[in-house]
Amino acid sequence: MAEQAVESEQQAETHEFQAEARQLLRLMVHSIYSDKDVFLRELLSNSSDALDKLRLESLVDKDLDVDTEDLHIQLERDPAARTLTVRDNGIGMSHDEVVGLIGTIARSGTAELLEKLKSAQETQGSDLIGQFGVGFYSAFMVADRVTVVTRKAGETVGTRWESEGEATYTIADVPDAPQGTAVTLHLKPVDTDDGMHDYTDTGVLRRIVTRYSDFLAWPIRMEVERVKKGEDGESDETVVEPETLNSMKALWARPRSEVTDAEYHEFYKHISHDWADPLETMRLQAEGTFEYQALLFLPSRAPFDLFTREAKRGVQLYVKRVFIMDDCEELMPEYLRFVKGVVDAQDLSLNVSREILQQDRQIRAMRRRLAKKVLSTVAGLVKSEESEDRDKYRTFWSQFGTCVKEGLVTDPDSRQDILDIASFDSTRSADEQTTLAEYIERMPEGQEHIYYLTGRSREMVEKSPHMEAFTSKGIEVLILTDQVDEMWVDSGAEFQGKTFRSIAKGEVDLDGDGEGDDSTDEATKEQFAGLLEWLRETLSDEVKDVRLSSRLTTSPACIVGDEGDLSPELVRIYRQLGQPLPDVKRILEINPEHALVTGLRESHATNADDPSLPEVAQLLYGTTLLAEGEELPDPHRFAQLLAGRLAAGLG
């Protein structure tokens, strides 16, 4: 340990910290990091870097006399002395490097950046850090004194650095120091209320290593006590054995040919806490100016909290195999929040924060590419001719389709990719959904639009009066019952040159082939002109227009909106979100061939002053609302009118 080299030290020199370093130490002690456990992550990362550098240097410099057979990191704990040492046999540091890298922050940044960090700390909480590398200083969160003994590979004399994290540090030469670096922490008292755990406890150390450093490429070892049966088979004896704490299995860094599906599935279950195998595994490797690797998974079932505010979302972020954060929302759009996996970046700071990620251009580029990878993977399942892939797709869409459709609103750049993989209920089949490509392939010649109708349930949509003419003519209509459908379908979306058209809005001309009897249409309009004008006046408080309908075959009337109007369901959604909207008057369309409408026309023509006719008009409007599943503006008034008409009929 570091103390063993004290006897052969030369006289120690005392130095003052650079001003910026003193400020940084004060901030560190007051928890710039939100979790004190990360000190060990930082020290282990430094050790891993040192081992990487030694391996590279030994390959470049053939004359370098170093042993690279057993490169590793060692955790040495002394509960009695309250010390923890993180030791590696890596590249080590020279005397000048110790002064330059630890005694100052000249390599880390400037006073100006430090001031920004301090300001951000005061205004945004204790989670912001990462503009420069300051990982070593995190040791002072948990230690009253830190000692570093190091010797650079190829040199004969080492260096001992020590400080209590205040204004000064001491530095001295150590002739017999081992190659590499040993950082010894003289730990503060345990205070679990303040997040200060016992960092000499094997269980605590195992937990931290597993969480933050499990996939480092180098073994992290620690000697642990184990109880074994004695040779007599009865008495127990305590033995000390080395234990490797990390798995070193960064599956995303290994070639696909070297990893089995079982290993991928086990890894997925480890990071997702799911008991089922994933539907699909996706690998991505980006090279060039910004390098990263990703291993992503599509789950086979939706989590129970998929649509709750508190749901965890996003993939895990690593930097050079070092765990940075769970549920990194910045790496995956919200509509793909169910995707699990890891992203391992090469060029990010280990201390990167969520605030910095939100502003990072490279992170945004990664987010776009990761989303595109997920969508293209699902598209491959859609287009596959293999029944197994099609089954996977159907499972995926049944579990996550509603969630994915949120992207049609929030991610316009990916709208076409999402529409490519989307499936919808339609009037063609009660059992199987259809993709838009399949819908268009079945469209009759001359059909210019993708017809749809929104509603709260399939049953309600199928029974809607708006469906009558489309059903009679065999024209397929998409049935959209998710709330998110109300949001995206009116946003100008189109697919393969076909626009989406609500059958409950505007005027519908299903005889646009020119074969309709225009003379009959004109005669009908003239015949009903008086009734239409009277209904407009009578129902002026409820509707903005009354006209003849070409979409009805069996119902007497229906309510439709203008092309640009919000649907009643969308108005309800906005109001539930606290956005009050004015009532939107719609249009009443009447069926000129229905007995109720023709009877009303005849009664109006012969006795326009009949006081019961306005009541019939109100009842016609009310029953039309009920047929659409809408709420009556005045249910009590409607019930009275209906009861009166029934009584008159019985009389």
Q: Do residues 344 and 323 both lie within one domain?
A: yes
Tell whether 200 is covered by a domain: yes
Specify the DSSP class assigned to residue 334. Answer: G
Q: Do residues 217 and 349 both lie within one domain?
A: no
Report the DSSP beta bridge partners of residue 182. 87, 149
Interval 419-454: pLDDT, tens = 999 999 999 999 999 999 999 999 998 899 999 999
Separation of CA 598 from chain center: 57
Q: Do residues 206 and 301 both lie within one domain?
A: no
Separation CA 405–CA 129 (nearest Å): 35
User: In the prediction, which pLDDT does 651 show?
Assistant: 62
Separation CA 249–CA 2 (nearest Å): 31
Binding annotation: 42, 46, 88, 93, 108-109, 131-136, 181, 354
Q: Is the pLDDT of residue 163 over 50?
A: yes
Quick check: helix, strand or coil at residue 508?
coil
- pLDDT class for 588, splitting at 50, 70, 90? very high
The interaxial angle of helices 613-627 and 518-538, nearest 10 deg, is: 110
Quick check: helix, strand or coil at residue 572?
helix
Tell whether 388 is covered by a domain: no
Q: Is the pLDDT of residue 198 over 70?
A: yes
Q: Which helix (H) or strand (E) holds 164?
A: none
- pLDDT class for 221, splitting at 50, 70, 90? very high
CATH number at residue 321: 3.30.230.80
Q: Do residues 232 and 272 both lie within one domain?
A: no
Residue of higher predicted confidence among 519 and 44: 44
DSSP annotation string for 430-484: EEEEEEHHHHHHHPPTT--EEEEEE-SSHHHHHT-GGGHHHHHTT---EEE-SHH
pTM attached to this predicted model: 0.75
Q: Do residues 227 and 106 both lie within one domain?
A: yes
User: In the prediction, which pLDDT does 21 show?
Assistant: 64
Separation CA 12–CA 276 (nearest Å): 60
Q: Do residues 54 and 176 both lie within one domain?
A: yes
| Cα torsion angle, 589, 595, 598, 602, sign | negative
Q: Do residues 69 and 35 both lie within one domain?
A: yes
Q: Do residues 269 and 315 both lie within one domain?
A: yes
Over residues 555-571, mean pLDDT: 84
CB 83, CB 144: distance < 8 Å: no
The region of weakest confidence among 39-43, 66-70, 163-167, 297-301 is 163-167
Q: Do residues 238 and 262 both lie within one domain?
A: no
- pLDDT class for 12, splitting at 50, 70, 90? confident
Tell whether 89 is covered by a domain: yes
Spatial CA neighbour of 66 closest among 54, 77, 75: 54
E runs forming strands in 503-553: 543-548
Q: Which range of residues forms the domain containing residue 530?
A: 522-561+583-650
Q: How many CB atoms lie within 10 A of CB 14?
A: 10
User: In the prediction, which pLDDT does 129 show?
Assistant: 33
Domain stop point among 331, 363, 383? 383
Separation CA 138–CA 430 (nearest Å): 61
- pLDDT class for 8, splitting at 50, 70, 90? very low
Residue of higher predicted confidence among 212 and 339: 339
- Tell me what percent of the residues of the chain surpass a pLDDT of 90: 50
User: In the prediction, which pLDDT does 26 show?
Assistant: 67
Question: Rounded to whole angstroms, what are the CA distances from 199 to 38, 79, 182, 226?
Answer: 12, 9, 16, 19
Separation CA 513–CA 525 (nearest Å): 20
Interval 475-513: pLDDT, tens = 999 999 998 998 898 777 899 999 999 999 888 777 654
Question: Which phi and psi (to 5°) does residue 615 adopt?
Answer: -65, -40
User: In the prediction, which pLDDT does 278 show?
Assistant: 96
Question: Counting every residue, how long is the chain?
Answer: 651
Binding annotation for ATP: 42, 46, 88, 93, 108-109, 131-136, 181, 354
Domain stop point among 228, 244, 260? 244
- pLDDT class for 309, splitting at 50, 70, 90? confident
CATH number at residue 527: 1.20.120.790
Separation of CA 148 from chain center: 41
Separation CA 185–CA 1 (nearest Å): 11
- pLDDT class for 13, splitting at 50, 70, 90? confident
DSSP annotation string for 34-81: S-TTHHHHHHHHHHHHHHHHHHHHHHH-TT-----TT--EEEEEETTT
Q: Do residues 529 and 646 both lie within one domain?
A: yes
Domain stop point among 196, 216, 244? 244
Residue of higher predicted confidence among 246 and 511: 246
User: In the prediction, which pLDDT does 106 show?
Assistant: 38
In the sheet with 73-78, reading across from the earlier edge strand, the strands are 13-16, 168-174, 158-163, 143-151, 180-187, 83-88, 73-78, 220-229, 236-244
* End-to-end CA gap in the chain: 108
CATH number at residue 150: 3.30.565.10
CB 211, CB 323: distance < 8 Å: yes
Count of structural domains, the chain? 3
Q: Is the pLDDT of residue 538 over 90?
A: yes
Q: Which helix (H) or strand (E) holds 516?
A: none
Interval 72-125: pLDDT, tens = 999 999 999 999 999 999 999 999 888 877 765 534 343 444 455 455 444 433
User: In the prediction, which pLDDT does 14 show?
Assistant: 87
Tell whether 177 is covered by a domain: yes
CB 50, CB 140: distance < 8 Å: no
Q: Which helix (H) or strand (E) holds 235?
A: none
Specify the DSSP class assigned to residue 526. Answer: H
User: In the prediction, which pLDDT does 232 show?
Assistant: 66
Q: Do residues 313 and 206 both lie within one domain?
A: no
Instruction: Extract the tokens encoding 388.
Output: 């197994």
Apex 343 CA angle, 338 and 344, nearest 5: 165
- pLDDT class for 24, splitting at 50, 70, 90? low
Tell whether 8 is covered by a domain: no
Tell whether 552 is covered by a domain: yes
Question: Which residues have a Cβ under 8 Å from the Cβ of 572 and sit 6 or more positions away?
Answer: none
Reported as half-sphere exposure (CB side, CA atoms, 13 A), residue 492 has a value of: 1
CB 201, CB 193: distance < 8 Å: no
Residue of higher predicted confidence among 183 and 11: 183
Tell whether 480 is covered by a domain: no
User: In the prediction, which pLDDT does 370 show?
Assistant: 95
User: In the prediction, which pLDDT does 517 show?
Assistant: 42
User: In the prediction, which pLDDT does 20 show?
Assistant: 64
The region of weakest confidence among 15-29, 118-132, 362-376, 555-569 is 118-132
In the sheet with 586-590, reading across from the earlier edge strand, the strands are 543-548, 586-590, 557-560
Separation CA 531–CA 591 (nearest Å): 12
Residue 444 falls in which region: left (phi positive, over 0), alpha (psi -120 to 50) or beta: beta
Tell whether 366 is covered by a domain: yes
Separation CA 475–CA 550 (nearest Å): 14
Q: Do residues 82 and 203 both lie within one domain?
A: yes
